Amino acid sequence: MTVTVTEQAASRISEIAGSEPGSPVLRVSVEGGGCSGFQYKFDLVDRRAADDFVIERGGAVVVIDPVSLQYMEGAEIDFVDDLIGAAFKINNPVATASCGCGTSFSV
């Protein structure tokens, strides 16, 4: 299993990265904290690390470090734009629980 990026997320990532100087990529990582124990972090970075897991779709590039990847195996990165607001959402089969905002989870 691997991490995937939806077409909607790839489009939004390309749009965001295209408005920045250089050729940034989106780094998704997992950190301790949040209301459920772990939380996702999204950063635009200038380069990838040699050991990053790399996802490329529709001109978008997403990188995930090996430690974070173990908590995201089989996950799908999506972008949702609805009445509540617009945000990246991670559908993670490894998570046993998540908070209402969708940015923190537990395993």
Measured at the alpha carbon of residue 41, what is the angle toward residues 79 and 82, in degrees to the nearest 5?
A: 25
Instruction: Report all structural domains of the chain as residue ranges with CATH numbers, in order of start.
Output: 4-97 (2.60.300.12)
pLDDT of 82 > 90? The answer is no
- Considering the entire predicted model, what is its pTM? 0.85
**Minimum mean pLDDT range among 19-23, 66-70, 92-96, 103-107:** 103-107
Which stretches within the chain are classed as H helix?
7-18, 66-72
Question: Which pLDDT tens digit goes with each residue over 50-68?
Answer: 999 999 999 999 999 999 9
Provide the residue type at 29 as one letter.
Answer: S
Place of tokens 């200038």: 46
* Mean of pLDDT values over 25-43: 86
